[in-house]
Structure 1
Amino acid sequence: MLNRKLVKVLSFRYVILAVVFVILAGGLLLLPKHEKQEGISPENLLANAFSPERYITTDELADRIINQDPSLLLLDVRDESSFKTYTLPNAINIPLSKVLEEDSQPYLNQNAFDVILFSNDNFHSDQAWILCNRLGYKNLHVLKGGLNEWYNTIINPKKPTENMASIEFEKYNFRKAASMYFGVAYPEKVVQKAEVKKYVPKQPEAPKKVVPKKKKKKMPLEGGC
């Protein structure tokens, strides 16, 4: 009963978010040209908003973290208190309320990394994505399902039943190996084809060095007196 209520609440939130997408894009279309701000067009914003390519799954992200993909930049858009309680390895905290601040721009608007935005679910990370995408920022992705999905699939994966397809068992083997990498201990000895080394928590590191995206210089006007 509780799960059904939770699903209804989450579904309602995502419906609201979808409506916000449409209203935002539609409202921008109605603005006079001289009032429109810099950034991508409303048409492109709406197209990007409904593109499945903007999401990254927990399995994809776990695989890239395990393989130490240097192109990842993980940005936790929750509040500072939630960030200090639990976050993903080497993530940087930029709360949603600070996404548009000047100090946040080098992390969000650059070409050197794939920026992964995440929160507890998709709600706040989707909002951060909308703000950044409207400004024309590239290489932005949202962790599908957020940390809730990360916990349910990577940290605490459910074992498939015997009647499920073999691909589900392969996925489970990967997830269980990944959970061990991130520090989950199991009482039984687990043997898997694709073993991964255990993740050893490090001391807090300095924020990943990022290179701000260079702005295009405006060309001087020709002619004049």
Structure 2
Amino acid sequence: MINRKLVKFLSFRYVILALIFIILAGGLVLIPKFEKQEGITPEELLSNIISPERYMTTDELAERIINQDPSLLLIDLRDEKTFKKYTLPNAINIPLKNLFNEDSAAFINQDEFDVIFYSNDNFDADQAWILCNRLGYKNLRVLKGGINTWFKTIINPPKPKEHMQNKAFELYSFRKAASMYFGVVYPDQVKTNTPKPIQTAPKKVIPVKKKKKMPVEGGC
């Protein structure tokens, strides 16, 4: 009963978020063309919102972290207290309310890294993505399902049933190996004394600040 109520509540949140996207995009389309707007055009924003390409799966992210992909920049949008309890390796905490602080913008508005937004689910991450996308920020993705899906798929992957296809078992093998990399210990690990994964030092991220445009001087 509780699970059904939770599902209905989450569904309601996503419906509200979808309506916000539609209203925002629709309102932007109605802006007069002669007005100069910062960032991309309303038509581009609407096209980007509809496209599912902004999402990155937990499997894809896990693989890139394990391979120590230097192009990743993980942005945890949750509050500081939740961030300290658990987060992804080398993530930077920028709560959603601080997204456009001067220091925060230096990390997000740059071309050196692939920025991955995530929160507990998609709700806050989707908001951050659409706001930054409207301003024309590049290389932005959203972790599909957020930390909740990360726990369900990577940290605690469900074992496939016997009647399932080989792909399901291959995916489970990858997810189990990934969970071990991120510190999960299985009973068979203890028996065989499997060594723990090597912890790498946190990556230093140097934000690239955009140069301010100089005003054009008049002639004559």
TM-score by length of 2: 0.90
1:138 corresponds in structure 2 to 138
The answer as to 2:8 corresponding to 1:8 is yes
1:125 deviates by 0.6
Q: CA RMSD in A?
A: 2.3
Query: Does structure 2 retain, via aligned residues, the 8 Å contact 1:182–1:200?
Result: no
Q: Distance in 2 between matches of 1:207 and 1:34?
A: 43
Query: Does structure 2 retain, via aligned residues, the 8 Å contact 1:117–1:143?
Result: yes
Q: Distance in 2 between matches of 1:83 and 1:20?
A: 27
For these two proteins, the number of residue pairs brought into alignment is 217
1:212 corresponds in structure 2 to 209
The answer as to 2:76 corresponding to 1:76 is yes
The answer as to 2:52 corresponding to 1:52 is yes
Partner amino acid, structure 2, of 1:164:
M
Residues 199, 24 of structure 1: alpha-carbon distance in 2 compared, 3 angstrom cutoff:
farther
Task: Give runs of aligned pairs for residues 18-33 of structure 1, distance below 5 A.
Answer: 18-33=18-33
The answer as to 2:43 corresponding to 1:43 is yes
Q: Which stretches of structure 1, 4 residues or longer, exceed 6 Å deviation after superposition?
A: none
Q: Distance in 2 between matches of 1:84 and 1:218?
A: 41
Structure 2 segments unaligned to the other structure (5+ residues): none
TM-score by length of 1: 0.89
Q: Distance in 2 between matches of 1:115 and 1:176?
A: 26
1:220 deviates by 4.0
Offset from partner CA, 1:137-165 (integer Å, 9 cap, x none): 01000000000000000000000001111
Partner amino acid, structure 1, of 2:97:
S
1:157 corresponds in structure 2 to 157
Query: Does structure 2 retain, via aligned residues, the 8 Å contact 1:178–1:196?
Result: no
2:109 corresponds in structure 1 to 109
Query: Does structure 2 retain, via aligned residues, the 8 Å contact 1:183–1:199?
Result: no
Partner amino acid, structure 2, of 1:211:
V
Partner amino acid, structure 2, of 1:169:
F
Q: Distance in 1 between matches of 2:186 and 2:168?
A: 20
1:96 corresponds in structure 2 to 96
2:197 corresponds in structure 1 to 198
Query: Does structure 2 retain, via aligned residues, the 8 Å contact 1:180–1:199?
Result: no
Query: Does structure 1 retain, via aligned residues, the 8 Å contact 2:90–2:203?
Result: no
